[in-house]
Structure 1
């Protein structure tokens, strides 16, 4: 599955959680925080999953550098974990 995020629409961490919860069908019990995001992406989401974050520089400006880096760090950790497990079908993230 390929999921695209429009970075110009991600103005807060809450916006990101809204978009991902909707596009990945996280359901009503999704915790809407970075720990919950890690839990869902690292264990629950069907692979392969390619996440494309378009206009990521716009998100970085709107969110602030620190918030953007906290979020992107979670996404990169999930990708690195899948790679370290040697999975054929993996989570990947691209920042464009």
Structure 2
């Protein structure tokens, strides 16, 4: 599965969460917060999963500390999958 996030469309953390939920078709039950992001990525979606965040530099400027918090969750999910030794894993790219 590929998840594409368009940094040009994001001005707030809520914008990220809405884009993420929309990409997965889970808008009706996604909590739009870091805990929900962790829950979905760490245990609720089938692997392999690649999240590509286009224009992440623009998002970093707009979201500030929220950007860093989101990326921290993405990194923790990636590390978890690596520690579990799964062949099919979550990965992400900031472009």
Runs of 4+ aligned structure 1 residues displaced above 3 Å come to: none
Q: How is 1:1-96 mapped onto 2 (pairs within 5 angstroms)?
A: 1-64=1-64, 66-96=65-95
TM-score, length of structure 2 as denominator length:
0.94
* Deviation sequence 1:36-79 (CA, Å, 0-9, x none): 11011100011101000111000001111x11100100011001
TM-score, length of structure 1 as denominator length:
0.94
The number of residue pairs the alignment matches comes to 95
Unaligned runs of 5+ in 2: none
More displaced, 74-83 or 26-35?
A: 26-35
Unaligned runs of 5+ in 1: none
Describe the SS at the equivalent of 2:93: strand
